């Protein structure tokens, strides 16, 4: 093999490896052209009230109706975030995670206290914490890793694309507090339309009128991709998809949806009753006509 042939093979193989996903995409923060907008994220200091405000890693998902979720992690002494996305079946390969913002400090110099988190939440610009975003397939399931160049304590936020507008499933990879914030004007919990699985440990409405669902110290290992696909798609249209205790699933809908469903169901019931009564009345008419014809025929025979 001569030099030109070897060079040609290398030039063909390297793009092929990148296209096939064998080499993960690494995106250093300091090489991105557009600075992420930090103001789009709500950096609320949320602590575990069941443990006397003891800090536990916390993840808050701000749900929306545009097929995206804004995630905000409060982390202590962390060098990596492991994210298991729910991808659109049959969709094209794309960046699921975008607009990553890191507002944190070196964990050796910053204690996980309320005061420090409140100080960090007031900052409007990202700190000089470099990070990379990579992905890898583990056990047939895609994982996205946000890795930092040092152990950090503070906030990490990003936007994640999801396949469904009003249905979100999260697979935690480590014990943490999980909080879902439902958009204003939307709700969940109806047993017919959809309810959270598993049931949250706590729920309340915030000052913006949004329903907050909380799972304290939720621990789970992500299920296999085959389980996730079956759960997401549903194995039988007549059965509600079953989600394991290793994942959290929330369906949300307009607050008036249960009322509209009840009105619609009542309308269908009244319509069905009207049809039944109509056919019952028609049968009576036909029966009387048949009896009258029989009497008329008997009279002619006499």
Residue 187: name the closest of 259, 139, 105 by CA.
259
Measured distance CA(259)–CA(180) in Å, rounded = 24
- Residue 159 has a pLDDT of 95
Q: What is the mean pLDDT of each run of 10 residues along the chain (302 residues)?
A: 52 49 41 66 80 77 94 95 76 76 92 91 81 90 92 95 88 90 93 89 94 83 44 44 66 75 59 69 72 72 65
- Residue 48 has a pLDDT of 67
- Residue 100 has a pLDDT of 93
**66 close to 160: Cβ distance less than 8 angstroms:** no
| Start-to-end C-alpha separation, the chain | 115
**24 close to 136: Cβ distance less than 8 angstroms:** yes
- On the CB side of 180, CA atoms within 13 Å amount to 28
- Residue 151 has a pLDDT of 95
- Residue 94 has a pLDDT of 67
């Amino acid at each position: 093999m001569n030099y030109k042939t070897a060079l040609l093979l290398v030039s063909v193989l390297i793009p092929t490896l990148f296209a096939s996903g064998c080499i993960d995409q690494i995106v250093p923060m300091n090489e991105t052209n557009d600075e992420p907008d930090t103001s789009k994220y709500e950096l609320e200091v949320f602590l575990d009230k069941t443990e006397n405000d003891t800090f536990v890693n916390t993840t808050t998902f701000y749900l929306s109706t545009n097929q995206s979720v804004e995630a905000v992690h409060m982390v202590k002494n962390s060098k990596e975030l492991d994210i298991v996305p729910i991808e659109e079946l049959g969709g094209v390969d794309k960046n699921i995670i975008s607009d990553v913002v890191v507002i944190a400090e070196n964990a050796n110099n910053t204690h996980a206290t309320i005061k420090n988190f409140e100080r960090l939440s007031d900052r409007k610009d990202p700190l000089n914490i470099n990070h990379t975003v990579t992905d890898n397939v583990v056990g047939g399931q895609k994982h996205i890793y946000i890795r930092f160049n040092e152990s950090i304590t503070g906030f990490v936020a990003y936007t994640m694309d999801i396949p469904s507008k009003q249905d979100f499933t999260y697979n935690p990879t480590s014990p943490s507090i999980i909080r879902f914030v439902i958009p204003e004007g939307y709700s969940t919990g109806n047993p017919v339309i959809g309810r959270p699985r598993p049931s949250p440990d706590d729920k309340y409405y915030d000052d913006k009128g949004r329903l907050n669902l909380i799972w304290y110290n939720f621990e789970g290992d992500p299920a296999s991709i085959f389980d996730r696909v079956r759960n997401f798609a549903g194995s039988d249209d007549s059965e509600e998809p079953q989600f394991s205790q290793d994942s959290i699933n929330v369906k949300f809908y307009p607050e008036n949806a249960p009322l509209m469903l009840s009105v619609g169901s009542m309308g269908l019931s009244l319509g069905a009753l009207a049809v039944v009564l109509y056919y019952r009345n028609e049968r009576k008419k036909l029966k009387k006509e048949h009896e009258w014809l029989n009497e008329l025929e008997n009279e002619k025979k006499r």
